[in-house]
Chains A and B, each alone.
Chain A
Amino acid sequence: MKKPVNIVIAGLGGQGVIKASDILSEAAFRSGFEVKKSEIHGMSQRGGSVTSDVRFGPQVLSPMVPPGEADFLVVLAPDQVEVNRGQLRAGGVLIAPDLIDASKLSNRKSFNVALLGALSAHLGLGEEKWRAAIHSCLPEKLHPANEQAFAEGRRAAAAKKLEP
């Protein structure tokens, strides 16, 4: 059995953590993988910490990323980085909010999707799958801003990869 890719998305209620994990799991599902996406969102609208686990691969059993086994940790709020760092496996990739310059986004609310753009640079899912996932998870009027944010995140991640 090939192990699934483990991703944890973390942030605060209202930042779009769950929307980002919806888009990610939709992109993986459209790419033909088994997918499970799990979160606790009982109190999420009240500004508290929110995390969402997404796992995809040829087979996914438990819906939760086992502690310390995340391949990727995507964090939307600066103060949630340390809280969640323990989720990452040794050698796992942290995608932190300081990677994105929010002033370059046509709509700052698309910050979650910008970080997905950065994540996408590591995952190898087709760009057209991502676009379709964004389209299926968001209302049409938000598509241009989110596609721009996604591209900006992807560019930022690529630029960071090139750094020595």
Chain B
Amino acid sequence: MNSTERQLLSGDSAIALAALHGGVALGTGYPGTPSTEILEYFSHIGGKAQWSPNEKVALEVGIGVAYGGARSLVTMKHVGVNVAADPFFSVAHTGVVGALVVVSADDPGMASSQNEQDNRRYAVAAAVPMVEPADSQEAYDFTLAAIEISERWKIPVLLRVTTRVCHTQAPVLPRAAVPPPQPHFEHDLRGRNLIPSNARPAHRRLRQKLSELTDWSETTPLNQIFSGDKKLGIITSGVCFMHAREAAPDASFLKLGFTHPLPLKKIAEFVRSVERCVVIEEGDPYLADAIRAAGLKVESKPEMFRFGELNVDRVRRILAHDPSPEPTRPPGKPPELCDGCGHHVVFQALKNLDCIVAGDIGCYALGVLPPYSAMDCCVCMGSSIGIGLGLRQVLPPAEAKRVVSVIGDSTFVHSGMTGLAEMIYNPPPTGHVVVILDNSTTAMTGHQEHPGTGRSLDHAATGKVIYEDLGKALGIEEVRVFMLGKDCAEFQQVLADALASEKQVLIIARRPCVLAAKSIREYEKCALANGGCCS
């Protein structure tokens, strides 16, 4: 896959190809739309890629890779950065030796996410440089640039992409691969042990790096000016450049590819060079706020365009000061649980028993839709257990006894285990019931492996977390495994008994995802035949 021919690639695949050509030694991450395909493609073309239990661990592994002098790519969706934020902020302070590129795949419009957070704010908060590609070619080029920036300034780099960059296929002309550095460990006790006496100078070093990067941002070709009509100037970044260039082909453009720290001198010069200057950006007014704070007069989008993705039509409206209501598309068919999915049985039982259900992130979130309408909350990965326990702690006993936490297998491994520790440590007076909906895969994002499947990213056999053993080892009073069939009555009885027992109960409701079952059987057969290797 070292071909330097032009090829049609998604932004995700382009990032993976650049990682391969840029000598990334290990790619780590946790699946999450729209970032998932990066590591899958990286593995497919011969890179070494691993799914971690969650984004925090993925980043920590990546930090180890970079401390060891090798190049590291860590991928996640926008909300994954919340999970990884703790090491992210600190590694900015310690710095790195080899490159550390963290991909944040944001989802404006929330095609498949629980919130619309704009992760450009993380670059500012953690004080790290940020690049924002606009299409697949730039996804490739900017990934290589991010590797270079990271190694030159010994700092992690945020590669911020959005759904339309990740999932758009467009031509990419790759370059020749560069040789990777040889991993090697150098002690740096003061640099990497963030005890306060070390962290104070580390913060000053970080700010010094940012100051140098501010100067660099004024001259980097990642920030480009397209001269055009001086009546209208547009400052923009990412895919919004494409929409804006199409909506106003004659305008002058300042296209920012390096968006933290911002080149405020270059921006000021551009603003002064045009009669009217408009900032076109999706999500938060990140660029507009920073530019206005520097005392420059620019127009920003009206609040109605903070929500959802931009497109050519919406950019035309912003430029024309058109506040009229936008046309709404008729609703399409919503997604639903597949025929034969094990979740049907569980949600029917939860509905029949009138449970108060603390849910979680995954396919089973579809249990909130008719016909079940049987999920009361879905907040973030792993939240079902803590929220269920909180409800149990305060509700009157008659209600508390109906509270159930349901969580998928991949989500449980991601961040449900600490919830179980909370359950045995602070047990509610009425006990609690946690149901792991074990479909033996990360179904919603497209059937990725995780530590509970016993197979690695490329489906080869590896170590396996056994939930029932884990539950027992933690000291949970009752642990049950239930093999889900088509009939609801038996599972309903198990659930009713668990609720009535007023103990801490963990039920593992198991049935492989109907869409993944065939592949899972093949991986298992393959692993048996090859003594564990299935790639």
Q: Which residues of A contact B (CB under 8 A)?
A: 1, 12-13, 22, 25-26, 29, 34-49, 51, 60-64, 66-68, 79-80, 82-83, 86
Cα(A88)–Cα(B239), bound, Å: 23
Question: Chain B binding site: helix, strand, loop or mixed by DSSP?
Answer: loop
Cα(A38)–Cα(B33), bound, Å: 14
A62 near B167 with CB under 8 A, answer no
Cα(A68)–Cα(B312), bound, Å: 11
Cα(A79)–Cα(B242), bound, Å: 32
A86 near B333 with CB under 8 A, answer no
A64 near B311 with CB under 8 A, answer yes
Cα(A107)–Cα(B330), bound, Å: 32
Q: Which residues of B contact A34 (CB under 8 A)?
A: 170-171
30 contacts between A and B (CB under 8 A): A25-B169, A29-B8, A29-B171, A35-B171, A36-B168, A37-B169, A40-B109, A40-B112, A42-B107, A43-B112, A45-B515, A46-B335, A46-B336, A46-B338, A47-B338, A48-B334, A62-B246, A62-B311, A62-B312, A63-B135, A63-B168, A63-B242, A64-B311, A66-B313, A67-B313, A68-B327, A80-B333, A83-B329, A83-B331, A86-B329
Take A35-B169, A67-B327 as given contacts and tell me if A47 and B311 are in contact as well, using a CB distance cutoff of 8 Å.
Answer: no
B489 touches A (CB below 8 Å): no
Q: Which residues of B contact A64 (CB under 8 A)?
A: 164, 243, 311-312
B359 touches A (CB below 8 Å): no
Q: Which residues of A contact B171 (CB under 8 A)?
A: 29, 34-35
Cα(A56)–Cα(B113), bound, Å: 30
Q: Which residues of B contact A (CB under 8 A)?
A: 8, 33-34, 107, 109, 111-113, 135, 163-164, 167-171, 239, 242-243, 245-246, 249, 311-313, 327, 329-338, 363, 366, 444, 446, 515
In the assembled complex, the CB of B437 is this many whole angstroms from the nearest CB of chain A, namely 15
B330 near A83 with CB under 8 A, answer yes
Q: Which residues of B contact A41 (CB under 8 A)?
A: 167
Q: Which residues of B contact A49 (CB under 8 A)?
A: 332-334
Q: Which residue of B lies closest to A46 (CB)?
A: B335
Question: Chain A binding site: helix, strand, loop or mixed by DSSP?
Answer: mixed
Q: Which residue of A lies closest to B326 (CB)?
A: A67
Cα(A79)–Cα(B332), bound, Å: 9
In the assembled complex, the CB of B237 is this many whole angstroms from the nearest CB of chain A, namely 15
Q: Which residue of A lies closest to B77 (CB)?
A: A42
Q: Which residues of B contact A67 (CB under 8 A)?
A: 311, 313, 327, 329
B335 near A38 with CB under 8 A, answer no
A43 near B335 with CB under 8 A, answer yes
Cα(A49)–Cα(B313), bound, Å: 22
Q: Which residue of B lies closest to A51 (CB)?
A: B332
B239 near A63 with CB under 8 A, answer yes
* B33 touches which of A37, A42, A61, A66 (Cβ 8 Å): A42
Q: Which residue of A lies closest to B328 (CB)?
A: A86
A42 near B312 with CB under 8 A, answer no
State the 7 A-B residue pairs at the shortest beta-carbon distance, nearest first: A42-B112, A49-B332, A46-B335, A48-B335, A63-B168, A61-B246, A66-B312
Take A41-B167, A43-B335, A46-B336 as given contacts and tell me if A66 and B8 are in contact as well, using a CB distance cutoff of 8 Å.
Answer: no
Take A61-B242, A67-B311 as given contacts and tell me if A45 and B164 are in contact as well, using a CB distance cutoff of 8 Å.
Answer: no
A38 near B164 with CB under 8 A, answer yes
Cα(A34)–Cα(B329), bound, Å: 28
B446 near A45 with CB under 8 A, answer yes
Cα(A140)–Cα(B445), bound, Å: 27
Q: Which residues of B contact A26 (CB under 8 A)?
A: 8
Cα(A42)–Cα(B168), bound, Å: 13
Cα(A22)–Cα(B167), bound, Å: 12
Take A37-B169, A48-B332, A79-B333 as given contacts and tell me if A61 and B112 are in contact as well, using a CB distance cutoff of 8 Å.
Answer: no
* B332 touches which of A35, A39, A80 (Cβ 8 Å): A80
In the assembled complex, the CB of B471 is this many whole angstroms from the nearest CB of chain A, namely 29
Other contacts beyond A38-B167, A46-B337: 18, CB < 8 A? A13-B335, A22-B169, A37-B169, A38-B164, A40-B112, A41-B167, A43-B112, A47-B335, A47-B336, A61-B242, A62-B239, A63-B170, A63-B242, A64-B243, A64-B311, A66-B246, A82-B330, A83-B331
Q: Which residues of A contact B167 (CB under 8 A)?
A: 38-41
A35 near B135 with CB under 8 A, answer no
Q: Which residues of A contact B444 (CB under 8 A)?
A: 43
